[in-house]
Amino acid sequence: MTAKFKDDSIESLKPLENEDEIVKYICTNYHVYTPNESNVRILYSSQQNTAKDVFNEITDLIKKSITSNKNSLYYSKKEQLNFGIDSSEILKNLKKRFNNNADFVKNVLEDKSFAKLLQKLDDKLRIVIKDGSVVIGEETEFERFTRTKLIALYYALFIVNLGDINESEIIDLPGLFSDFCDGDGEDRKGINEYLEKCRYQKISEKNIFDMFTVFAVFFEKF
């Protein structure tokens, strides 16, 4: 909980005059889960509700692009749609590219722990859309709408709409990074707008999953 969110939450409670009003406020803004009568826990705050709404908004945009956007790379496709990258194929291509750098190939690209890391990141990014339902990793029913899931879902939306993106404006990785994060400044939102709406951290160059996702988009584009 950030200091600002804490202060805002406290301020929102000040106008409430009695216990009944506080209870009503909590019930309106929070989901209360009670596994048993002796263990009452508040699991989802209003921010999780917002994250769920954003998740549904992005899902609807993907479905809309598939059915109505003729520039979409997936326009009118009826079969199951799979998003994600083949980490083993990336390693293979990188070995070819850096075949003159024996130390890098041996110490990094052929390192088993590095390969496992790439696979774990790819698993988090893997999206399947079939019959209108969304699968992230192996999850089909979402109890929590996490930052990682929202980024993965936005990645799928971005890939679906790559045909709309003007290649003259995105000539390199920094340009793609900017477009992915901030959108086009007009109709298309960037991932950061969605993340901020949910009170999640914006895309960070220090976050390995964030950068893996951007590189995955880059491999799709170039």
pLDDT computed for residue 151 by the predictor: 93
Tokens of 62: 């993907």
Task: Report yes or no on 99 lying in a domain.
Answer: no
Residue 34: pLDDT band (50, 70, 90) is low
pLDDT computed for residue 120 by the predictor: 87
Read off the pLDDT of residues 83-120 as tens digits, 9 standing for 90 and up. Answer: 777 778 778 878 888 888 888 888 888 888 888 888 88
Q: Are 53 and 31 within one domain? A: no
Q: Are 36 and 68 within one domain? A: no
Q: Are 32 and 58 within one domain? A: no
Q: Are 21 and 38 within one domain? A: yes
pLDDT computed for residue 43 by the predictor: 41
Q: Are 10 and 80 within one domain? A: no
Indicate whether 38 pLDDT > 50: no
Indicate whether 39 pLDDT > 80: no
Q: Are 31 and 53 within one domain? A: no
State the average pLDDT over residues 49-54.
86
pLDDT computed for residue 73 by the predictor: 63
pLDDT computed for residue 41 by the predictor: 44
Task: Report yes or no on 18 lying in a domain.
Answer: yes
Q: Are 39 and 52 within one domain? A: no
- Please choose, from the candidates 37, 15, 49, 130, the residue with its C-alpha nearest in 3D space to the C-alpha of residue 83: 130
- If one compares 99 and 203, the residue with the highest pLDDT of the two is 203
Tokens of 182: 């901030």
pTM for this one?
A: 0.70
Tell me the residue range of the domain where 133 lies: 46-84+126-221
Structural contact between residues 117 and 25, judged by C-beta atoms closer than 8 angstroms:
no
Structural contact between residues 43 and 31, judged by C-beta atoms closer than 8 angstroms:
yes
153 CB burial (10 A radius; 0-12, 13-18, 19+): buried
- The DSSP-derived string for the chain is --HHHHHHHHHHHTT--SHHHHHHHHHHH-EEEEEETTEEEEEE-HHHHHHHHHHHHHHHHHHHHHHH-TTSTTTT--S-EEE---HHHHHHHHHHHTTT-HHHIIIIIT-HHHHHHHHHHHHHH-EEEETTEEEETTBSS-S---HHHHHHHHHHHHHHTGGGS-TTT--SHHHHHHHHHHTTSSSSPPHHHHHHHTTPPPP-TT-HHHHHHHHHHHHHH-
Task: Report yes or no on 116 lying in a domain.
Answer: no
Domain count, the chain: 2
Q: Are 142 and 38 within one domain? A: no
The percentage of residues in the chain with a pLDDT greater than 90, rounded to a whole number, is 10
Q: Are 165 and 69 within one domain? A: yes
Q: Are 179 and 199 within one domain? A: yes
Task: Report yes or no on 187 lying in a domain.
Answer: yes
Task: Report yes or no on 121 lying in a domain.
Answer: no
pLDDT computed for residue 194 by the predictor: 94
Read off the pLDDT of residues 145-200 as tens digits, 9 standing for 90 and up. Answer: 889 989 999 998 888 887 666 555 555 778 788 889 998 777 788 999 999 998 89
Q: Are 53 and 22 within one domain? A: no
| Angle at CA of residue 143, ends 21 and 1, nearest 5° | 55
Q: Are 130 and 199 within one domain? A: yes
pLDDT computed for residue 63 by the predictor: 82
